[in-house]
């Protein structure tokens, strides 16, 4: 947002009412960029006033409606000028004369409202430093978030920080900590360009910030920063509950299948191409803006690059670099909306191609050829595995440890029918394996996948009720992944090195996961990812937290992971104190998704400042810490 003193009266009135307005002197003309949430308009004129009026014409095409809006904007500007000599009331958001649908809090309400923040100075500083650390650690994970979720996440952090600042006025240390938080979030915004976040502005108010992100509830805008943070947190949770969106807030997860081959190589090519067209991508905004001729030549390449990046989301090894590349495209679309009419669709988080991104990019034939190649390779590998495992078959009288190691190798390379064939056992007689290998049980295997494989192997051909509960009938036969599927999954997983390194700290541990709600699907994914001995889950209800805190102190867990991005600081302190008393690691995993958990474990337990880089450079042996 431009400094208010540099804006025209109408533009100042628009800023007061929650729009983001930038006036840019281009030398021969002026440009006025107005943004409201995810929507923006660009106006041009010979002076700032004409540029602002041109933007308003795009915002409100109807002449009658525009006259009505202009009348009220001018009235608001006149009222602001008349009150300019009167002292400002810092706690009172401006009262709108136009926003009839939203009731702004009165000065009495604003004065009466209190920030929910710790009174103790040391505790307040500790909380601010925790927020700052969380912002620094969450950088890589933020890159792939949809812009709406990124904006809301920023508002939750800065809202909590400003609430503490307002409760400790004139404290230099607290003020500086809040400024560091605002600068850190502004740096993320400059890299990823999610759109306007007025709460990061020094002179913003809770009401203006909420208006920009449409956070008004019950016809009233938040009166305090605490209320704003709570409103943003609630909006974030509601957005994450939408079944049409994936974990990062995008609607195209299904369209990303089949996964692209060699995703890192392809991403590097797109990055280099984007740098060639628009300059180095340190931040979303390039050092030198492209001229009009360059902008027109960029139309087709940017749409193609955007589609490729949508397909590569989650497949490339660096979410942060993905976010920076996508941020450059968002900046181009917002800054030069007139030049990129088709780009906005590819950038829209709600957009999903009719088929999938592979088809959208015209790559279906080559994808089919690649699938055939992979299938033929997997068949050849299967034959080699059968020969190898047949040669390594232990003697009948071999110990259970020897047979367990053989089964581990077999589970890695073959599916159950092939294993039964090697053992010369008819599938209908599979339960006889229980007598033949009585010393081996599902608990003999650490990996939950292999436990399930053993149960399937030693039961009747029908899948067990335990393993198929809740599955459609058509999926029961496919409940167990084949070795080919597992190999493909590992090859497609760009975070396999992080996963293997993190397992060195989590395998066989008794773990507790703390979040704001139960999520059985995520719990299963975390268990398969980290291979704990057991994984307990708790939400942030008071009685559940108190009980779990007591269990932590009693030594019931070896490690606790918390999705601190969804928890209040009081909950964070309660769990953290219990972990400290029990002398066990407390892992703060931001939003609690798989990648965040891997990085957080390596950071908080493994002591790595930059897990991805350190794992790659060290070639870390995941078994070294066991």
Q: Is residue 374 part of a domain?
A: no
Closest CA to 199 of 226, 172, 168: 226
Query: What is the rounded distance in angstroms from the CA atom of residue 510 to the CA atom of residue 555?
Result: 10
What is the longest distance spanned by two Cα atoms in the chain? 98
Straight-line distance from the first to the last Cα atom of the chain, in angstroms, rounded to the nearest whole number: 53
Residue 478: is its pLDDT beyond 90?
no
Q: What is the DSSP letter of 553?
A: H
Same domain, 404 and 319: no
Residue 53's φ and ψ, nearest 5 degrees, are -65, -35
Q: Which DSSP helix (H) or strand (E) runs through 562?
A: strand 559-562
Q: Token match 């493909």: residue?
A: 488
Same domain, 482 and 497: no
User: For 531-581, how does the pLDDT look when each residue is reduced to its tens digit (9 = 90+)?
Assistant: 998 899 988 776 778 889 999 999 999 999 998 877 877 788 889 899 999
Which comes out higher in pLDDT, residue 485 or 152? Answer: 152
Residue 176: is its pLDDT beyond 90?
yes
- Range ranked top by mean pLDDT from 134-143, 214-223, 269-278, 490-499: 269-278
Residue 104: is its pLDDT beyond 70?
no
Same domain, 206 and 270: no
**Lowest-pLDDT choice from 165-169, 242-246, 441-445, 609-613:** 609-613
pTM over the 0.85 mark: no
Residue 151: is its pLDDT beyond 70?
yes
Answer for the pair 250, 347: CB distance below 8 angstroms, yes or no.
Answer: no
Closest CA to 251 of 363, 147, 353: 353
Residue 124 corresponds to which tokens in the numbers above?
């307040």
Q: Is residue 534 part of a domain?
A: yes
**Lowest-pLDDT choice from 68-77, 197-206, 461-470, 547-556:** 461-470
Q: Which residues of 433-450 are buried (b: 16+ CB within 10 A; e: fewer)?
A: beeebeebeeebbeeeeb
The percentage of the chain sitting over the pLDDT mark of 70, rounded to a whole number, equals: 77
Answer for the pair 223, 207: CB distance below 8 angstroms, yes or no.
Answer: yes
Same domain, 508 and 477: no
Region 616-621: mean pLDDT is: 52
pLDDT classification of 585: cutoffs 50, 70, 90:
very high
Where does 193-254 have alpha helices with state H?
A: 206-212, 225-240
Strands 586-588 and 559-562, by their bridges, are parallel
3-state secondary structure 501-544: HHHHHHCCCEEEEECCCCCHHHHHHHHHHHCCCEEEEECCCHHH
- Range ranked top by mean pLDDT from 44-53, 67-76, 368-377, 389-398: 389-398
Average pLDDT, rounded, for the chain: 78
| Per-residue model confidence (pLDDT) at position 491 | 47
Answer for the pair 454, 441: CB distance below 8 angstroms, yes or no.
Answer: yes
| Per-residue model confidence (pLDDT) at position 106 | 39
Query: Domain of 67?
Result: 4-87
Last residue of a domain, one of 432, 459, 488: 488
Q: Which DSSP helix (H) or strand (E) runs through 80?
A: helix 63-82
| Per-residue model confidence (pLDDT) at position 109 | 40
Give the chain's domain count. Answer: 5
- 538 forms beta bridges with 514
Same domain, 498 and 608: yes
Residue 119: is its pLDDT beyond 50?
yes
Q: Is residue 102 part of a domain?
A: no
Residue 464: is its pLDDT beyond 70?
no
Same domain, 10 and 123: no
pLDDT classification of 441: cutoffs 50, 70, 90:
confident
Q: Which residues of 62-98 are buried (b: 16+ CB within 10 A; e: fewer)?
A: eeeeeeebeebbeebbeeeeeeeeeeeeebbbbebeb
- Range ranked top by mean pLDDT from 22-31, 52-61, 94-103: 52-61
Distant-in-sequence, close-in-space partners of 588: CB < 8 Å, separation ≥ 6: 130, 133, 134, 137, 562, 564, 572, 600, 604
Which comes out higher in pLDDT, residue 612 or 13? Answer: 13
Q: Is residue 149 part of a domain?
A: yes
Same domain, 429 and 501: no
Last residue of a domain, one of 87, 121, 154: 87
Residue 370 corresponds to which tokens in the numbers above?
């690649």
Q: Is residue 97 part of a domain?
A: no
pLDDT classification of 593: cutoffs 50, 70, 90:
confident
Q: Which DSSP helix (H) or strand (E) runs through 588?
A: strand 586-588
Which comes out higher in pLDDT, residue 158 or 27? Answer: 158
Last residue of a domain, one of 190, 216, 240: 240
Same domain, 169 and 206: yes
Can you list the positions of beta strands (E) in 299-405?
none
User: For 378-426, how does the pLDDT look when each residue is reduced to its tens digit (9 = 90+)?
Assistant: 777 777 788 888 888 888 788 888 888 888 888 888 887 788 878 877 6
Cα 454–455–459 angle (5° rounding)?
A: 115
3-state secondary structure 13-45: HHHHCCCEEEEEECCCCEEEEEEECCEEEEEEE
Distances in Å between the Cα of 200 and the Cα atoms of 208, 273, 436, 520 are: 11, 32, 67, 35
Query: What is the rounded distance in angstroms from the CA atom of residue 422 to the CA atom of residue 100?
Result: 76
| Per-residue model confidence (pLDDT) at position 183 | 92
Same domain, 143 and 30: no
């Amino acid at each position: 947002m431009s400094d208010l003193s540099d804006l025209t009266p109408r533009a100042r009135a628009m800023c007061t009412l929650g729009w983001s307005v930038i006036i840019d002197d281009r030398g021969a003309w002026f440009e006025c960029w107005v943004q409201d949430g995810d929507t923006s308009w660009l106006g041009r004129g010979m002076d700032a006033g004409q540029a602002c009026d041109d933007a308003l014409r795009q915002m409100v095409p109807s002449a009658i409606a525009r006259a009505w809006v202009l009348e009220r904007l001018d009235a608001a500007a006149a009222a602001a000028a008349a009150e300019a000599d009167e002292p400002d009331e810092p706690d009172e958001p401006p009262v709108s004369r136009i926003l009839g649908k939203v009731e702004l809090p009165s000065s009495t309400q604003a004065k009466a409202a209190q920030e929910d923040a710790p009174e103790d100075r040391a505790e307040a500083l500790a909380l601010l430093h925790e927020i700052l650390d969380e912002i620094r650690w969450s950088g890589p994970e933020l890159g792939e978030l949809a812009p709406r979720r990124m904006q809301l996440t920023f508002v939750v952090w800065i809202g909590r920080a400003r609430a503490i600042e307002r409760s400790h006025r004139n404290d230099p240390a607290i003020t500086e900590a809040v400024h560091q938080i605002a600068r850190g979030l502004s740096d993320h915004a400059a890299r990823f360009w999610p759109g306007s976040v007025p709460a990061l502005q020094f002179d913003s108010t809770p009401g203006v910030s909420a208006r920009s992100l449409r956070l008004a509830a019950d016809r009233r805008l938040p009166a305090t920063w605490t209320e704003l943070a709570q409103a943003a947190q609630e909006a974030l949770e509601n957005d994450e509950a939408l079944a049409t969106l994936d974990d990062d807030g995008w609607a195209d997860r299904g369209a990303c299948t089949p996964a692209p081959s060699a995703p890192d190589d392809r991403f590097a090519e797109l990055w280099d191409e984007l740098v060639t067209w628009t300059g180095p991508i340190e931040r979303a905004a390039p050092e030198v803006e492209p001229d009009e001729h360059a902008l027109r030549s960029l139309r087709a390449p940017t749409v193609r690059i955007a589609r490729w990046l949508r397909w590569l989301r989650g497949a490339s090894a660096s979410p942060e670099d993905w976010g920076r590349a996508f941020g450059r495209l968002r900046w181009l679309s917002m800054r030069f909306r007139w030049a990129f009419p088709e780009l906005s669709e590819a950038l829209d988080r709600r957009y999903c191609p009719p088929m999938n991104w592979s088809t959208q990019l015209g790559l279906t034939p080559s994808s089919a050829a690649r699938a055939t190649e992979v299938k033929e390779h997997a068949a050849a590998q299967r034959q080699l595995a059968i020969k190898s495992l047949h040669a390594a078959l232990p003697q009948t009288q071999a110990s259970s440890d020897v047979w367990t190691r053989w089964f581990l190798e077999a589970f890695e390379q073959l599916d159950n029918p092939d294993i039964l064939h090697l053992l010369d056992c008819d599938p209908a007689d599979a339960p006889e394996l229980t007598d033949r290998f009585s010393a081996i049980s599902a608990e003999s295997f650490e990996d939950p996948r292999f436990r399930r494989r053993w149960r399937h192997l030693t039961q009747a051909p029908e899948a067990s009720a335990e393993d198929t509960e809740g599955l459609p009938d058509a999926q029961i036969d496919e409940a167990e992944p084949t070795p080919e599927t597992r190999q493909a999954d590992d090859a497609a997983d760009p975070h396999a090195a992080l996963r293997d390194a993190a397992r060195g700290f989590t395998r066989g541990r008794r773990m507790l996961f703390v979040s704001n709600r139960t999520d059985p699907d995520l719990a299963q994914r975390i268990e398969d990812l980290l291979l704990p001995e057991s994984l307990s889950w708790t939400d942030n209800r008071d009685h559940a937290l108190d009980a779990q805190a007591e269990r932590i102190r009693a030594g019931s867990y070896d490690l606790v992971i918390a999705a601190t991005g969804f928890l209040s600081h009081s909950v964070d302190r309660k769990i953290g104190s219990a972990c400290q008393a029990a002398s066990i690691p407390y892992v703060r995993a931001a939003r609690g998704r798989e990648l965040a958990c891997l990085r957080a474990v390596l950071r908080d337990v493994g002591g790595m400042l930059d897990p991805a880089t350190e794992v790659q450079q060290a070639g870390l042996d995941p078994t070294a810490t066991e």
